[in-house]
Amino acid sequence: MAIFRVLVPRYSSVVYRGRFYSSMSELRGLVLGAYASENDKVNKLTPYAQKFNDQVTSGKLLEQINVAGPLKVGQTRILWNTSPKYPVVAVAGLGDAASWDILDGLDGVRENVRIAAGAGVKVLAAEKVAQVEVEDFNGQAEAAAEGATLAAYRFQEYKKLEARKTVAQVSLAPDASGAEDFKRGVTTAKAQNWSRLLMETPANLMTPTIFAQEVQKKLTPLGVEVVPHDREWARGLGMESFLSVSKGSDEPPVFLEMTYNGAGGDQKPICLVGKGITFDSGGISIKSAAKMDEMRADMGGGSVVVGTIAALAELGAKINVKGLVPLCENLPNGRANKPGDVVRAMNGKSICIDNTDAEGRLILCDAICYAERFNPRYIVDLATLTGAIRVALGFCVTGAFSTCDQLFGHLSSAGSKTGELLARPLQSMFFLCFKTAVDED
């Protein structure tokens, strides 16, 4: 399953007011779409929006949004008092899907729908509209649900109630098409929002133990077997590399194992392995203080693994998946790893630690060794492994290091549909740099 990420840019909005005054909590809003290519001087509504324009507003909606010219993708305009059912309507620009370059490798139609639906939900939530209905955007209900649900997410779990901003409840407009597709999109997006919640929770409130408990609470009712293994279990299997990272923290490590058998029988599983560093200070090779708080999200790979399994289970996907997340903190104390230390992985290979802030590969190598025991079809390893990948590829592309053309093809195809661009920066010459002076394997 692809990893779902939607970038919803913030565009300026033109707001048409003249509203009546009622409780904002009672307001119901509607998100509609409009197309406009680069050379268009007016907007063209989607079929659903055109029907609403003709039958509900007698043409006033299109007349109003055309006052300010064509809408660019993700740009929004709000109209008040359009109908008794929808006191406020946001029209979001779908742009022109053909404007995406073929080299972008994206399904431009789906991507523009995600952007537009998300922008519409955000602008209505900013107006404190709590109930937002979304049209199907000309047969793209799933993409609309993804964009809308992701945009509605807010992390404000620890703010007092009166300080919290409106979180829009998103649904499909009753007479729109694609109800099942919309439901699927909501399911996948909510699973991603759960992953985001795990990542954004402060590290003292999302320790390895708490992470495992939250996963058990979420996945067990969905029929997923969740087993949190302790330190002694890992030591018995020879996971010295994983345990060496955990030595620097008083929080006990947890090796989280999840099994989803959606296909049953003898189908080989796909193994998803996720980095689970619930806080990364860098260890003895300590990071700078600036933005170190963001390292609470260094278990992003593990969060995506559990979110993906949640989505698969809720959708009833006919596939067998094994999820593995080694969880611990990377902190400096008298027992922590030191630069130059040599540890041994589960498969017997020795590893020289050059920098203790490269802890991700130390915990993942043991998890990957363990994954081999299940004779999987594929092993997919997900991790916030290094900031250097952002230097190389930027913020909008994921580095995919794969020696399997078939697997990379599947991921790349799924990424095109879900807005996940993948790059494959893997050549054999890179491995020439991976030698050190210490006599290790």
Active site residue ranges: 287, 361
Neighbour tally for 171: CB within 10 Å? 16
CA 357 → CA 266, 316, 363, distances in Å?
A: 40, 39, 12
CB 90 within 8 A of CB 26: no
CB 145 within 8 A of CB 186: yes
CA distance 245 to 364: 11
In the chain, how many H helices and how many E strands?
12, 17
Q: Which of 261, 210, 234 is nearest to 365 (CA)?
A: 234
CA distance 255 to 208: 9
Place of tokens 């018995």: 236
CA distance 351 to 373: 21
b/e string for 69-104 if b means 16 or more Cβ within 10 A?
ebbbbbbbbbbbebeeebbbbbbbbbbbbeebeeee
CA distance 36 to 16: 20
- Tell me the residue ranges of DSSP E strands in 218-308: 225-229, 254-261, 270-274, 276-280
Cα distance between the two ends of the chain: 34
Chain centroid to CA 160: how far?
Answer: 26
